[in-house]
């Protein structure tokens, strides 16, 4: 992710974890007219900006989505997928070290504005519905993260 | 309260079938449908409110509809919906799962030309163009879409011995073969990041006889 390097991530593992739960989770989301990770949030993100944005998004998923979604897992039988995703997100987030240099301020602020678009959309929804929708949009997040993946 | 129209089981298995980004919506008739049941298709982007009618798939009796052009943006996700109407005001409506062609498309076998020589077989893999267009309008190949795409080539020499070649280039040659002998080639496309693998293209080829004295 630009200046931030994270090694040892096996993206196909993340995909397989999500695909195992995709149908179950996305079919719980009846609000097809709302998308949290809107195109304008993830489009044209520079390498430098990507580190800040992915760090914010992964932290949000760990601290808000996965943490509160936990109660639904037994009902939806998606524990294996959930754990694999959560663990991988934790590893990636912990390895990301977004720079705190002053000359990166404008870039980090731009990333923050994008992240706030996501947060606002999340908070505008009923919490339960937002949790399900956010989990169902992990594929959008992975597709975007994959662009920064170096072979 | 009974609506003016009765809901009935006129539809099942409403889903996208996607191969090399050719996205076809298909469905099956339900237990209550009759030969004169007609179907209408709508689609939309995930996150948008409005459903759009697909011209050419309105009040049709066919059970498929080509939505390739309508679902061609790789960063978008889509839904499609079929509404069935049967005589006697019976109707039914079902929508697909959330669809992403990047995730769902399967890769067809490559198009390959196998050229036999006396002691070798050359294999030329032709580029696979997709219906997806780049911002400047040119048709994208699978290689341009899947950055990690590579080819795996196998040549079966006999029941126990195969030769393997692998790489991102499109020209390969199996060397050191016996003249005037038949071989079976199998060429596969792989895109591991998306866990995609095509079925093999098979070619049966015989090396040329050695006429040198």
Tokens describing residue A138: 């992990």
Answer whether B97 sits within 8 Å of A27, measured CB to CB. Answer: yes
- CB contact B51 to A (< 8 Å): no
Q: Which of B139, B96, B112, B107 is nearest to B21 (CA)?
A: B107
Instruction: Report the residue count for chain B.
Output: 213
Tokens describing residue B9: 């089981």
Beta bridge partners of A123: none
Under DSSP, the state recorded for B88 is T
Candidate from B44, B48, B194 with C-beta closest to A15: B194
- Considering Cα of B47, then B51, then B56, then B61, what sign does the dihedral take? positive
pLDDT value of residue B2 = 40
Q: Is A132 left (phi over 0), alpha (psi -120 to 50) or beta?
A: alpha
> pLDDT under 70 in chain B at which residues?
1-6, 213
Angle at B194 between CA B49 and CA B99, to 5 degrees: 20
Residues A37/A56, Cβ–Cβ less than 8 Å: no
Angle at B184 between CA B196 and CA B213, to 5 degrees: 140
Distance from C-alpha of B128 to C-alpha of B112, rounded to nearest angstrom: 10
Residues B185/B202, Cβ–Cβ less than 8 Å: yes
Note the pTM of the prediction, 2 decimals.
0.88
CA Rg value for chain A: 15
Distance from C-alpha of B22 to C-alpha of B101, rounded to nearest angstrom: 9
Question: What ipTM score was computed for the predicted complex, to two decimals?
Answer: 0.87
Give the chain B residue whose CA is nearest to the CA of A141: B75
3-state secondary structure of B207: coil
Residues B36/B87, Cβ–Cβ less than 8 Å: yes
Answer whether A33 sits within 8 Å of B49, measured CB to CB. Answer: yes
Distance from C-alpha of A1 to C-alpha of A53, rounded to nearest angstrom: 10
pLDDT value of residue B213 = 63
* B69 min Cα distance to partner chain A (Å): 19
Tokens describing residue A151: 């072979």
Under DSSP, the state recorded for B128 is -
CA distances from A135 to B20, B63, B211 (A): 28, 33, 67
Ordered per-residue pLDDT tens for chain A, 151 residues: 666 777 777 888 889 889 988 888 899 999 999 999 999 999 988 888 988 999 999 999 999 998 887 666 665 566 777 788 888 999 888 888 777 777 778 888 999 999 999 999 999 999 999 999 999 999 999 999 988 766 5
Kindly report the number of other CB atoms within 10 A of residue B178's CB atom.
11
Helix (H), strand (E), coil (C) string for chain A: CCCCCCCCCCHHHHHHHHHHHHHHHHHHCCCCCCCCCCHHHHCCCCHHHHHHHHHHHHHHHHHHHHHHHHHHHHHHCCHHHHHHHHHHHHHHHHHCCCCCCHHHHHHHHHHHHHHHHHHHHHHCCCHHHHHHHHHHCHHHHHHHHHCCCCC
pLDDT value of residue A111 = 92
Angle at B202 between CA B196 and CA B204, to 5 degrees: 160
DSSP state string for B23-75: EEEEEEE-TT--TT-EEEEEEEETT----EE-TT-SSBS-SEEE-TGGG--TT
pLDDT value of residue A3 = 66
Answer whether B47 sits within 8 Å of A38, measured CB to CB. Answer: yes
Tokens describing residue B91: 């109707």
Contact residues, chain A to chain B, C-beta under 8 Å:
11-12, 15-16, 19, 22-23, 26-27, 32-35, 38-39, 42-43, 136, 139-140, 143, 146, 149, 151
């Amino acid at each position: 992710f630009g200046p931030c390097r994270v090694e040892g991530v096996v993206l196909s593992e993340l995909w397989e974890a999500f695909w195992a739960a995709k149908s179950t989770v996305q079919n719980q989301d009846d609000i097809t007219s709302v998308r949290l990770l809107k195109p304008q949030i993830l489009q044209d993100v520079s390498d430098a900006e990507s580190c800040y944005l992915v760090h914010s998004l992964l932290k949000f998923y760990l601290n808000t989505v996965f943490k509160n979604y936990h109660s639904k897992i037994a009902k939806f039988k998606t524990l294996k997928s959930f754990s694999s995703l959560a663990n991988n997100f934790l590893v990636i987030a912990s390895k990301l070290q977004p720079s705190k240099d002053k000359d990166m301020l404008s870039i980090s602020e731009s990333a923050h504005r994008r992240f706030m678009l996501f947060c606002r959309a999340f908070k505008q929804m009923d919490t339960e519905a937002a949790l399900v929708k956010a989990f169902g949009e992990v594929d959008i997040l992975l597709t975007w993260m994959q662009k920064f993946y170096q072979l | 309260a009974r609506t003016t129209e009765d809901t009935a089981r006129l539809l099942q298995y409403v889903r996208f079938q996607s191969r090399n980004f050719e996205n076809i919506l298909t469905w099956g008739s339900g237990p209550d449908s009759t030969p004169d049941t007609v179907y209408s298709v709508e689609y939309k982007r995930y996150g948008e409110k409005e459903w759009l009618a697909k011209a050419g798939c309105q009040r049709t009796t066919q059970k498929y509809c080509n939505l390739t052009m309508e679902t061609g943006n790789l960063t978008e996700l889509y839904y499609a919906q079929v509404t069935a109407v049967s005589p006697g005001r019976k109707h039914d409506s079902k929508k697909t799962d959330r669809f992403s062609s990047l995730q769902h498309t399967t890769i067809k076998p490559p198009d390959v030309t196998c050229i036999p020589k006396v002691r070798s077989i050359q294999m030329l893999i032709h580029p696979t163009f997709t219906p997806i267009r780049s911002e400047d309008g040119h048709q994208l190949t699978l290689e341009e879409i899947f950055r990690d795409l590579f080819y795996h080539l196998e040549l079966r020499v006999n029941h126990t011995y195969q030769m393997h070649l692998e790489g991102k280039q499109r020209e390969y040659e199996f060397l050191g073969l016996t003249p005037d002998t038949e071989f079976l080639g199998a060429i596969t496309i792989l895109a591991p990041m998306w866990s995609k693998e095509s079925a093999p293209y098979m070619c049966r080829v015989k090396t040329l006889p050695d006429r040198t004295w």
